[in-house]
């Protein structure tokens, strides 16, 4: 990737910016653009003709929104001086959102009208009162194509009558921060330009998610409507305004449409300071006998790590690695797991490695937590945070309303809920299912086995929140330790938890980019097997309790989703689960989840792969996975 395409952290937080902020008092008072009426009188030639001076950025990537047939656009309105054009378009197949937004290869999004159609279909799906003259937030993980996409999204938003867009500087704002900003600023919703943990760059992935007014990912009722509208779309409404300069903080007015470029960190940081005891965490991070490392994987949390961990919490600057966000994540796969964050894993498992290590993904909503020579499996992580939250985290000092996990996540959290006598929920994979429970006041802490952990402080999983939660727990346990005294470590906390609650051994096998046909056939085969199965059936040494394809009825609005994962649950509580990923952009990714509970503390130190070997063998043979997919080995083991 050429250096010019790098999005550097120092650009996001440069001193010039803070000076700019101070010189404007509150940093958002400048109105830079000329009165927009001057644009409304521009020629009626197609707005996206390559000659148009209005779409420089978009055209630099040979992308534009063009009239698909007649190449003509019609001015449909000029409210307070903005010319809004109607551009004819045609439906494009395959714009169905998956587990978390629409994700495709960059090249697919660069096709004529591809992104524009989806954005317009979204506006066609929302009740007008949810966006007309309203406020929307726009953020993203800084990946390749975000700059062009930002301009398209803002122009279509203006074209559809949105009043104001709050956008992160350079279009950057993490997924959890967008959720936080939507809530704090009482916005109607927001867009996140990210394919999350999928790799970025010209040859890789791009994605878009829409979150609603409480900051939660749009529910299936909305995403299904959007998909329906992508199949019948005929027109894109787009405002004839110049590209917005996203490199400087401040407010720009285009007639009655306003764009405010904001610091992507400040609202989020304020929320973190409200949730956590920063003094407590700082007391740990400044200890000479505690070493901390955070790997931002050249992704969006690079923009957050220094202001939060270093400037606010006293970590040393060298404790942040890969802290410069890059459009291609430094050729990496920004997925914090044992395979893709291997540099961090190596450091943490080295002799005399740091005491605490963490990483986050492309858009900052995932987290991985490590101690010295010790990996905390995400299913355990959420259970341990829940069990320790009340004492260590001020936000939970009055208790927790309820706990929840996604179906394939291990039952470690269930045991905490039971012991603490808290309401408990099991939902399908994908964060969108937690939001309703939170809005209804039924849920405080939740997580997924896929390195997602969070709480009702926002409506997304939150990578930095999880790191701060763990630091709070470790700091709380060590707050009275004198210099030189042995500290309670991450491993100590986890082992104590197992001793109290028992250990749920858990592993996930991912088979990435399989042939879709074989993967689909395998799932069909398993569904068929489920329909024929009965309690007591023998699978190796395991006896079946029940098998099903997970179906969920939302306890708040009664909506039902089906086919959320095939599971075999055995009489001893062990489970094997199969699903197809809904976030990939090529082929099919098969996920196989294995779980077994072990109450006997003398066996808790076993390696998970060893402990689970008999069950893994059962899972592989039951599913005929090798025959269907042709894969001998998984791509990633967690």
Indicate whether 365 belongs to the interface with Co ion (CB under 5 A).
yes
Of 196 and 478, nearer to Co ion (C-beta) is 196
CA distance 595 to 604: 14
Q: Min. distance of Cβ 362 from ligand VG1 in angstroms?
A: 7
Residue 252 interacts, among ligand VG1, Co ion, none and using kind-specific CB cut-offs from 5 to 8 Å, with none
Q: Min. distance of Cβ 430 from ligand VG1 in angstroms?
A: 5
Q: Min. distance of Cβ 99 from ligand VG1 in angstroms?
A: 3
Q: Min. distance of Cβ 362 from Co ion in angstroms?
A: 6
Q: Min. distance of Cβ 157 from ligand VG1 in angstroms?
A: 22
What SS3 class is residue 557? coil
Task: Provide the token pair at 75.
Answer: 């001015």
Contact 515, 630 (CB under 8 A): yes
Q: Min. distance of Cβ 195 from ligand VG1 in angstroms?
A: 7
Strand partners, 85: 75, 238
Q: Min. distance of Cβ 182 from Co ion in angstroms?
A: 17
For 575, the enclosing helix (H) or strand (E) is: strand 575-580
Phi, psi of 118 (to 5 degrees): -65, -40
In terms of DSSP bridges, do strands 164-168 and 135-140 run parallel, antiparallel, or are they unpaired? Answer: parallel
Residue 229 interacts, among Co ion, ligand VG1, none and using kind-specific CB cut-offs from 5 to 8 Å, with none
Residue 591 interacts, among Co ion, ligand VG1, none and using kind-specific CB cut-offs from 5 to 8 Å, with ligand VG1
- Where do contacts with ligand VG1 occur on this chain (CB under 6 A)? 99-100, 196-197, 361, 365-366, 406, 429-431, 448, 450, 452, 581-583, 591
Residues recognised as catalytic: 196
Binders of Co ion among residues 304 to 363 (CB under 5 A) are 361, 363
Q: Is 600 exposed, middle or buried (0-12, 13-18, 19+ CB in 10 A)?
A: exposed
Indicate whether 380 belongs to the interface with Co ion (CB under 5 A).
no
Of 141 and 277, nearer to ligand VG1 (C-beta) is 141
- Return the range that interacts with Co ion (CB under 5 A); candidates 30-38, 40-48, 192-200, 515-523: 192-200
- Return the range that interacts with Co ion (CB under 5 A); candidates 5-13, 145-153, 189-197, 372-380: 189-197
Residue 452 interacts, among ligand VG1, Co ion, none and using kind-specific CB cut-offs from 5 to 8 Å, with ligand VG1
Of 83 and 405, nearer to ligand VG1 (C-beta) is 405
Of 170 and 365, nearer to ligand VG1 (C-beta) is 365
List, in order, residues 6 or more apart from 430 with CB less than 8 Å away.
Answer: 99, 100, 217, 406, 582
List, in order, residues 6 or more apart from 166 with CB less than 8 Å away.
Answer: 135, 136, 137, 138, 181, 185, 187, 260, 262
Chain centre distance of CA 432: 11
Query: What is the CB neighbour count within 10 angstroms for residue 321?
Result: 18
Candidates 117, 196, 230, 379: give the one binding Co ion (CB under 5 A).
196
What are the helix (H) ranges across 312-354? Answer: 342-348
Contact 259, 252 (CB under 8 A): yes
Q: Min. distance of Cβ 595 from Co ion in angstroms?
A: 23
Indicate whether 429 belongs to the interface with Co ion (CB under 5 A).
no
Residue 428 interacts, among Co ion, ligand VG1, none and using kind-specific CB cut-offs from 5 to 8 Å, with none
CA distance 338 to 295: 13
Residue 277 interacts, among Co ion, ligand VG1, none and using kind-specific CB cut-offs from 5 to 8 Å, with none
CA distance 430 to 306: 29
Residue 623 interacts, among Co ion, ligand VG1, none and using kind-specific CB cut-offs from 5 to 8 Å, with none
Contact 609, 507 (CB under 8 A): yes
Of 183 and 591, nearer to ligand VG1 (C-beta) is 591
- Return the range that interacts with Co ion (CB under 5 A); candidates 6-14, 162-170, 190-198, 400-408: 190-198
Binding residues for Co ion, how many (CB under 5 A)? 5
DSSP states of 489-502: PHHHHHHHHHHHH-
369-372: which pairs have CB atoms within 8 A and are 24 or more residues apart? 369/466, 369/467, 369/470, 369/490, 370/344, 370/345, 370/490, 371/489, 371/490, 371/491, 371/494, 372/348, 372/489, 372/490, 372/491
Of 103 and 155, nearer to Co ion (C-beta) is 103
Of 179 and 489, nearer to ligand VG1 (C-beta) is 179
Of 366 and 405, nearer to Co ion (C-beta) is 366
Binding residues (CB under 5 A) for Co ion: these are 196, 361, 363, 365-366
């Amino acid at each position: 990737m050429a250096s010019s395409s790098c999005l550097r952290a120092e650009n996001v937080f440069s001193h010039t910016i803070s000076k700019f902020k101070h010189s404007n008092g509150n940093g958002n008072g400048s109105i830079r653009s000329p009165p927009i009426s001057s644009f409304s009188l521009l020629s009626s030639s197609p707005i996206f003709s390559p000659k148009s001076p209005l779409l420089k950025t978009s055209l630099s990537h040979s992308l534009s929104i063009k009239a698909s047939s007649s190449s003509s656009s019609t001015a449909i309105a000029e409210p307070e001086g903005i010319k809004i054009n109607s551009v004819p378009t045609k439906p494009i197949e395959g714009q169905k959102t998956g587990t978390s937004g629409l994700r495709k290869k960059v090249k697919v999004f660069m096709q004529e009208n591809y992104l524009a159609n989806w954005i317009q279909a979204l506006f066609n799906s929302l009740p007008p009162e949810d966006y007309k003259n309203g406020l929307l937030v726009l953020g993203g993980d800084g990946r390749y194509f975000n700059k062009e996409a930002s301009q398209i999204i803002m122009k279509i938003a203006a074209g559809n009558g949105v009043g104001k867009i709050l956008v992160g500087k350079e279009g950057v704002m993490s997924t959890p921060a967008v959720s936080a900003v939507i809530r704090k600023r009482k916005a109607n919703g927001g867009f996140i330009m990210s394919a999350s943990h999928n790799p970025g760059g010209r040859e890789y992935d791009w994605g878009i998610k829409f979150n609603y007014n409480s900051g939660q990912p749009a529910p299936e009722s909305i995403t299904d409507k959007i998909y329906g509208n992508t199949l019948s779309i005929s027109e894109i409404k787009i405002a004839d305004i110049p590209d917005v300069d996203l490199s400087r903080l401040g407010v720009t007015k285009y007639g009655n449409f306003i764009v405010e470029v904001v610091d992507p960190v400040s609202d989020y940081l304020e929320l973190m300071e409200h949730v956590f005891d920063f003094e407590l965490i700082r007391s740990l991070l400044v200890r000479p006998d505690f070493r901390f490392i955070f790997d931002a994987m050249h992704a969006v949390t690079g923009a957050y790590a220094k202001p939060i961990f270093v400037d606010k919490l006293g970590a040393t600057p060298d404790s942040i690695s890969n802290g410069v966000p890059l459009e291609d994540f430094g050729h990496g796969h920004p997925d914090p797991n044992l395979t893709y964050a291997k540099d961090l894993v190596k450091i943490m498992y080295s002799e005399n490695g740091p005491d605490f290590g963490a990483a986050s993904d492309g858009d900052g909503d995932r987290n991985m937590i490590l101690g010295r020579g010790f990996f905390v499996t995400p299913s355990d992580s959420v259970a341990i945070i829940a069990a320790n939250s009340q004492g260590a985290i001020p936000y939970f000092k009055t208790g927790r309303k309820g706990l929840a996990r996604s179906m394939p996540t291990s039952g470690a959290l269930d045991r905490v809920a039971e012991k603490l006598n808290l309401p408990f929920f099991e939902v399908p994979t994908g964060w969108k299912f937690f939001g309703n429970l939170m809005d209804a006041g039924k849920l405080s802490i939740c997580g997924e086995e896929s390195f997602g952990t969070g709480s009702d402080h926002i409506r997304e999983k939150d990578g930095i929140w999880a790191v701060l939660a763990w630091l709070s727990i470790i700091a709380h346990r060590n707050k009275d330790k004198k210099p030189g005294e042995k500290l309670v470590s991450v491993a100590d906390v986890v082992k104590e938890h197992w001793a109290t609650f028992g250990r749920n051994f858990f592993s996930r096998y991912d088979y990435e980019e399989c042939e879709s046909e074989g993967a689909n056939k395998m799932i069909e085969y398993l569904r068929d097997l489920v329909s024929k199965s009965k309690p007591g059936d023998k699978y190796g040494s395991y006896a079946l309790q029940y098998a099903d394809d997970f179906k969920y009825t939302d306890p708040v609005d009664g909506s039902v989703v089906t086919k959320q994962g095939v599971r075999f649950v055995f009489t001893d509580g062990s489970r094997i689960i199969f699903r197809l990923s809904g976030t990939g952009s090529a082929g099919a990714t098969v996920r196989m989840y294995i779980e077994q509970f072990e109450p006997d503390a003398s066996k808790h130190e076993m390696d998970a792969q060893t402990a689970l070997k008999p069950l893994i063998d059962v899972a592989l043979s039951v599913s005929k996975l090798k025959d269907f997919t042709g894969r001998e080995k998984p791509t990633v083991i967690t």
